[in-house]
Amino acid sequence: MIICRKTESFAIVLAILTVLVLSFVRSFVPVPLIQTSYRHRYCTSSLSRLSASSATSDYLQSLSLVRVQQQSHPVLISDVNGNNASEAPPQQQQPLCCEPMKWDGKQISENAYRVDLPTKLLKELRAYANRMGITDMYRRLLVVDGKPLHPGTENKMDFEGYNWMVQRPKSHWASNMHWTSPADETAHDDYLRVLSAGGFDQVLEKVGTYFDLDGLSAYHLSFIGVSHCEKGFIHADVNDSGRTAFNMIIPLILQDEENEEGCCHPGELEILSDDETITQYYKYEYNVASMVGDNALHATASCDYQTQSSSLSSSSTKDGGGGTMMRMAATVYIGDITPENVNHLLLSLTQAYPPVGNAQHLLDRAGSHWSRTNASKKLPVPI
């Protein structure tokens, strides 16, 4: 009788222990998928506690299934408040975009566009202008010495062993803007290699595909600088090319400018509508080029950074100006050069290179930097 009672007591104790063990094991069974963050929290601690139990194999099997499911979905992590949040992927630049300039949703100029740029292009062009001495030259001409060239004159200059030409347009431009361009093919190719290092091949591909062109060449390059403009001179950089050639303006140094009422200036580029009845202002942005094509009438908007320099701090120069009260940009003429449009392209050339009036020179370089059918056509790579 005593033995039977002991056996019965032992059975009761064993049953109680069994219930406790099962409850203990059940507490570690993976929770539904919606609670991924909690499931992930159990991965190491529960494995160590269950390694010696009979539930280990079942748990590992269920856990392996959960891990397979986790690999096929973004892993969720908890924020400081315990809320689930998707793990952010590594930041990458969005695909480049080419789109018409618009104001209040309306396009007033058929061939005025804005084009996204690779972010490294700004860094490469700034560094190049600094290294060559072009930025310092503009500071001397437009700000420090305040002795620009006489209107309608030009000077040949040597920048780091390369031949360049500096020009100031005639007085009807009513500004102290200067153009600085390669004076021969050697200097031109050196500039092209900087564009290559900055990812400009991507820009050529975007523009070429957007306008359904056969090929593109970057055929005319410059840097432009200005610190004072009384009234912009309305003009077009390209005419009658059949929508195959464009001038891209790439801002390198910008200013925060206020008008007489103390408000920010509406924009640095004046755009005239195709019917010449509406004027709008486009505000330059870093890492975005303004692009003007056939008969797109535009002008440099009035500005006076010289006066501002005495009343504004150096912080008014946005990102990279070094306190210099001037505006500087790179310009790149690109085109799908053909026998049908080459003479129209020649009319827009004002500097030493490409050779003025030499149509064959441009035709020989047609499609040399991007081609719809030949992926090997690229800008020259840096040496």
Q: What is the Cα Rg of the chain in Å?
A: 33
- pLDDT at residue 18, as a whole number: 60
On whether the CB atoms of residues 75 and 87 are closer than 8 A, the answer is yes
- pLDDT at residue 184, as a whole number: 98
Which range among 78-82, 233-237, 291-295 shows the weakest confidence by mean pLDDT? Answer: 78-82
C-alpha dihedral, 246 to 287 to 268 to 205, nearest 10°: 10
User: Residue 18 corresponds to which tokens in the numbers above?
Assistant: 């069994």
- pLDDT at residue 82, as a whole number: 35
User: Does 13 have pLDDT greater than 90?
Assistant: no
pLDDT class of 259 with cuts at 50, 70, 90: low
d(C-alpha 187, C-alpha 333), whole Å: 16
On whether the CB atoms of residues 351 and 169 are closer than 8 A, the answer is no
Regarding the domain with residue range 98-371, which homologous superfamily does it belong to in the CATH classification? q2cbj1_9rhob like domain (2.60.120.620)
d(C-alpha 203, C-alpha 378), whole Å: 11
More confident call, 55 vs 76: 55
State which H helix or E strand residue 216 sits in. strand 215-226
More confident call, 370 vs 256: 370
User: Does 287 have pLDDT greater than 80?
Assistant: yes
3-state secondary structure of 70: helix
Query: Measured in whole angstroms, how far is the alpha carbon of residue 251 from the centre of its chain?
Result: 11
User: Does 51 have pLDDT greater than 90?
Assistant: no
d(C-alpha 140, C-alpha 152), whole Å: 19
CB 19: neighbour CB atoms within 10 A? 10
Phi, psi (degrees; rounded to nearest 5) at 113: -135, 165
pLDDT in tens, 303-348: 988 776 555 444 444 555 445 689 999 999 999 999 999 999 999 8
- Does pTM top 0.95 for this prediction? no
List % helix, strand, coil for the chain (3-state, nearest 5): 35, 25, 40
pLDDT in tens, 53-68: 344 344 334 333 333 3
Residues 79-96: b if buried by 16+ CB within 10 A, e if exposed? eeeeeeeeeeeeeeeeeb
On whether the CB atoms of residues 290 and 112 are closer than 8 A, the answer is yes
User: Does 30 have pLDDT greater than 50?
Assistant: no
* DSSP letter for each residue of 9-26: HHHHHHHHHHHHHHHHHH
d(C-alpha 353, C-alpha 179), whole Å: 13
3-state secondary structure of 56: helix
* DSSP letter for each residue of 127-188: HHHHHHTHHHHHHIIIIIS--PPPTT-EEEEEETTEEEEEE---GGG-B--EEEEESSHHHH
Residue written as token pair 């030949």: 374
pLDDT class of 98 with cuts at 50, 70, 90: very high
Whole-number average pLDDT of the chain: 79
User: Residue 237 corresponds to which tokens in the numbers above?
Assistant: 């950089």
Residues 42-58: b if buried by 16+ CB within 10 A, e if exposed? beeebeeebeeeeeeee
Q: Maximum Cα–Cα distance for the chain, whole Å?
A: 126
